[in-house]
A and B are shown apart, each in its own frame.
Chain A
């Protein structure tokens, strides 16, 4: 059986100010997976990724990348790893292509091999015409793409993306995800993603872990997690405004404004029954959408549950 792309056992981190950022977490990411690591700010995501990339010293625990212990052969382990961090971390005064080529050099790749690869990556990521531009002259989205090109120059088997689409416009975000899905599918690159855009995680990732207060509170497949959802809330746009809230037996209905209703559908209920009841009362629905992203509902519920608040999943 092939070694997992990432295996973490008992990972603990206590900072100098005695804050325990990680409380002995275990995590495994399969080779070829597209994996989401989610959590609220300060939950321990960046600390976990920082330890994997050796930007943070761990207090205890074991990290293996494709079966290679980072404490025993960090050089070999790092060769398999590509990182796109949250913050821009390149020399702003250097030219785009120089930044990518320097990274290739750090991995011991000869210039004659690095140059065509760098050019291809810059082409793929829409930066071909910017290769002689100093990095500081790029827009925010271009800088993010530059970091992706740099992370991929040595063809890593495991790519870590730490909120790579923060502040990136929708069109660019979509093209970035199409590219990531392509390298995951065609080149078999394992991808670990952290993001605050939960709809991204839901549509891209096959497996997910949610971390909160230094502990893994959920680690399962995306399908299984979404299957835990007890109640889904929909927003219904009406053809004509209503004076009062209609009553539908068994369903929780609320009026958001005269032309909009919210409808909560519990597990086991049929949404058709709600539509039939509305139609019987002469209410015409012109469109419908999820009130919140499904993963977002679960995420909030899991985090609140852990913090002693209300829980919304079984």
Chain B
């Protein structure tokens, strides 16, 4: 395929993916908006007003970036995991395999689709947060960069999960037992400086901590960790995960006998 044909193929997958999650918006876009509104109301306003300040900010202002990031992570991941596994389950993945598309085109198309949902949900949650507080973004470029990189990283993660999954249970195990605990313990609701020293060190092993803090630095200008290194790590993980996913796809892991 030449460059123009490859672009058409890539665009076809992206549009198909976006159409899919837009078609089922009550399942994909509405629930995170309602859930996050509850978080803002209960943890931000009701309980948050009694917590006081965190790193010099009102508690609701402190948790908004983390909750936006949590929505982006969850939705990017689950979009690709459920969509690609759905393709496997219905065997429509064969349409992709028998086509002349290269593996990287297929992978990039699904990542873009997952990232699109993650970013759209992130935008909706940001708009919802404005009913509860006023957001001022200190570093807009860094904020955009880190949210896009996080969305792509977890889209790739969802793709790998879908490749390895044999049944629908397999695509819910990682979000429930890995992503949710790591996100909750990744500094969404607190600064790791409030933890005992031992647990501060343990927290540094959690990759989501770096994404949440870099994003929070972009919006509020405060972070528990060195932002530069965190950015390098996020880019590095993107490259590593992309290479792993592409290798698995090209070898036909989970999709070819």
A residues touching B (Cβ–Cβ < 8 Å)?
A: 15, 47, 50, 53-57, 74-76, 78-79, 81, 83, 85, 87-93, 102-103, 105-110, 150
Contacts and interface: CB of A to CB of B under 8 A. Distances in A.
Given A15-B257, A54-B256, A108 B6 contact: yes
Contacts of A79: 1, 100
Nearest to B5: A108
Nearest to B16: A102
A132 B36 CA distance: 36
Contacts of B99: 78, 103, 106-107
Contact of A88 (B11, B23, B91, B96): B91
A108 B13 CA distance: 11
The DSSP consensus for interface residues of chain A is loop
Contacts of A55: 94, 97-98, 256-257
A89 B94 contact: yes
B232 interface: no
* Secondary structure type dominating chain B contacts: helix
A75 B257 contact: no
A91 B96 CA distance: 12
Nearest to B101: A106
Contacts, number: 86
Contacts of A110: 8
Contacts of A109: 5, 8
Interface in B149-203: none
B91 A107 contact: no
Q: Interface residues of B toward A: which range?
A: 20 to 34
Interface of B: 1-2, 4-6, 8-9, 11-13, 16, 23, 86-87, 90-92, 94-102, 251-252, 256-257
A56 B186 CA distance: 42
10 shortest interchain CB distances as A-B pairs: A108-B5, A105-B12, A89-B91, A106-B99, A75-B100, A78-B100, A56-B257, A89-B94, A108-B8, A91-B92
Pick the most buried of B87, B92, B252: most chain A CB atoms within 10 A of its CB: B92
Contact of A108 (B9, B92, B94, B256): B9
A88 B92 CA distance: 8
Nearest to B7: A108
A83 B95 CA distance: 9
28 contacts: A15-B257, A53-B98, A54-B97, A56-B256, A57-B256, A57-B257, A74-B100, A75-B101, A79-B100, A81-B98, A85-B94, A87-B91, A89-B91, A89-B94, A90-B95, A91-B86, A91-B92, A102-B95, A103-B99, A105-B8, A106-B9, A106-B13, A106-B95, A106-B99, A107-B9, A108-B9, A108-B100, A109-B8
